[in-house]
Amino acid sequence: MKPRDRILSRLRHGRAASPATPYPAPETIAVTPSAPNIDSMVTALEAAHAQVFRMAEADWPDHLASLATERNWQQWWVGRDEAAAIWQAHGSAPSVTVFDDWDGQKAALFDSAPISLSQAQGGIADTGTLIVESRPEAPRTLSLVPPVHVVIVREGSLFPDMPTAMVYYSRHGMPTNLIFISGPSKTADIQQTMAYGAHGPRELIVYLCR
């Protein structure tokens, strides 16, 4: 018997001897309610090389306009979420491209989009993780491709930890896709040296609004 046949035979035998059984999901998940630690959220995000600004929700557009002038951010890519509408209406008149046509805009997004803006639907305080729900009005590609990603998130939408977040989504319905963001993209695949921005945004700017 060839080595390949022997391996396949063992796999088939093992599968027949111990067939997989469905995992029974618990009817309820026990979670002790607690308030999210905002300081932990900030500390964890900054430890992951994100830049965090805490302020009143009404103040982030003016602050972002000043930051955009300082950093020379001129061309924004956005979806059709709440943050995008607020930013488009700002008095600084930002130059905005609304990403709503994958076939017609994907080449420009991958080749030349410098910065994107999106709204996070929540966050996990103890790990400094943003939760972005992929929706038709907020395509997930906006958070994965441009080299700079600006995210708006409300303090009131934060969860203290992952189990609490999962309980919420189990009760309110899981979106098609959840994106968990804990800093700029990073990899240590090459010589175990950490590199940022290798396969996604190299900068993450977070506005934590109260």
pLDDT in tens, the chain (210 residues): 677 777 777 767 665 555 555 545 555 555 566 899 999 999 999 999 999 999 999 999 999 999 999 999 999 999 999 999 999 999 999 999 999 999 999 999 999 999 999 999 999 999 999 999 988 888 889 999 999 999 999 999 999 999 999 999 999 988 888 999 988 887 777 777 777 767 779 999 999 999
Q: What is the pLDDT of residue 109?
A: 95
Q: What is the pLDDT of residue 111?
A: 94
Q: Are 128 and 92 in contact (CB under 8 A)?
A: no
d(Cα 53, Cα 151) in Å, to the nearest integer?
10
Q: What is the pLDDT of residue 199?
A: 73
Q: What is the pLDDT of residue 7?
A: 75
Phi, psi of 60, rounded to the nearest 5 degrees: -65, -35
Q: Is the dihedral angle over the CA atoms 176, 189, 151, 155 positive or is it negative?
A: positive
Q: What is the pLDDT of residue 190?
A: 72
d(Cα 15, Cα 174) in Å, to the nearest integer?
32
Q: What is the pLDDT of residue 134?
A: 87
Q: What is the pLDDT of residue 14?
A: 61
* Planar angle of CA 36, 48, 67, nearest 5 degrees: 90
